[in-house]
A and B are shown apart, each in its own frame.
Chain A
Amino acid sequence: MKRLMAGMTVLAVLAGCGTTATKEQDGAAVEDRKPGAVVEQPPVKPAPGPSAKPFVDRPVAGDPLKDPGNILSRRSVYFDYDSNLIKDEFKPLVTAHARYLQQNGSKKIRIQGYADDRGSREYNLALGQRRADSVRQMMQLLGARAGQIETVSFGEEKPKCAERAESCWSQNRRGDIVYQGE
Chain B
Amino acid sequence: MRSPGSEVAFIEESAGPGPGRFLDRLRRAFGVAVWVVLAALPPAAHAVLTIEIIGTGGNQFPVAIAPFRSEANLPQPLTPVIAADLARSGVFRIVDAGGLNPPPHEPQDVNYATWRARGADALVIGSVSLLPDGRYDIRFRLMDVAKQAQLAGYAYTASSAQLRHAAHRIADAIYEKLTGDKGVFSTRITYVVKRGSRFELQVADADGHGAQTVLASKEPIISPSWSPDGTRLAYVSFEQRKPVVYVQSLVTGGRRAVANHWGSNSAPAWAPDGKRLAVVLTKDGGSQIYLIDADGGGVTRLTQTSAIDTEPNFSPDGQLLLFTSDRGGTPQIYGMSVSGSDVRRLTFEGSYNVSPRFSPDGKSFTFIQRNGDRFNVAVQDLTTRQVQVLTDGAVDESPSFAPNGRMILYATEVRGRGILSAVSSDGRVKQRLTADTGDVREPAWGPLPK
Contacts and interface: CB of A to CB of B under 8 A. Distances in A.
The answer to whether A and B assemble together is yes
Interface of A: 1, 3-11, 13-22, 24-25, 28-33, 35-36, 38, 41, 43-47, 50, 110, 112, 118-123, 125-127, 129-130, 133, 150-155, 157-158
Interface stretch (B110-118, B179-187, B219-227, B293-301): B219-227
A141 B214 CA distance: 44
Contacts of A15: 41-42
B219 A35 contact: no
Contacts, number: 221
A70 B421 CA distance: 50
A147 to B, nearest CB: 9
A3 B33 contact: yes
A50 to B, nearest CB: 8
Nearest to B282: A129
Contacts of A43: 196, 198
B370 interface: yes
B310 A16 contact: no
A3 B7 contact: yes
Nearest to A1: B34
Interface in B178-236: 196-198, 203, 212-220, 222-223
B313 to A, nearest CB: 11
Given A3-B33, A38-B45, A118 B395 contact: yes
Contacts of B262: 150
Given A4-B36, A44-B197, 18 more contacts: A3-B4, A7-B7, A10-B4, A14-B39, A17-B214, A22-B255, A22-B256, A24-B257, A25-B240, A33-B214, A35-B212, A43-B196, A45-B218, A112-B242, A122-B223, A122-B266, A123-B331, A129-B282
A140 to B, nearest CB: 11
Interface in B357-410: 368, 370, 375, 395, 397-398
A151 B397 CA distance: 26
User: Helix, strand, loop or mixed for chain B's interface?
Assistant: loop
A92 to B, nearest CB: 25
Contact of B240 (A5, A28, A31, A38): A28
A30 to B, nearest CB: 5
B383 to A, nearest CB: 25
A17 B42 CA distance: 10
B368 A21 contact: no
23 contacts: A7-B4, A7-B6, A10-B3, A11-B38, A13-B251, A17-B252, A24-B246, A32-B215, A35-B213, A110-B242, A112-B241, A112-B242, A120-B311, A120-B368, A121-B223, A122-B223, A122-B310, A122-B354, A125-B243, A129-B308, A152-B264, A152-B282, A155-B243
Contacts of A25: 239-240
Given A10-B5, A122-B311, A152-B264, A29 B217 contact: yes
A44 B198 contact: yes
Given A38-B46, A126-B310, A157-B220, A17 B215 contact: no
B240 A24 contact: yes
B130 interface: no
Interface string B41-60: 11011100000000000000
Contact of A3 (B36, B264, B308, B370): B36
Contacts of B239: 24-25, 28-30
B417 to A, nearest CB: 12
Nearest to A5: B5
Contact of B324 (A17, A21, A45, A120): A120
Nearest to A25: B240
B10 interface: no
Can you list the 4 inter-chain pairs with the closest CB atoms, starting with the nearest? A7-B5, A7-B36, A35-B212, A6-B4
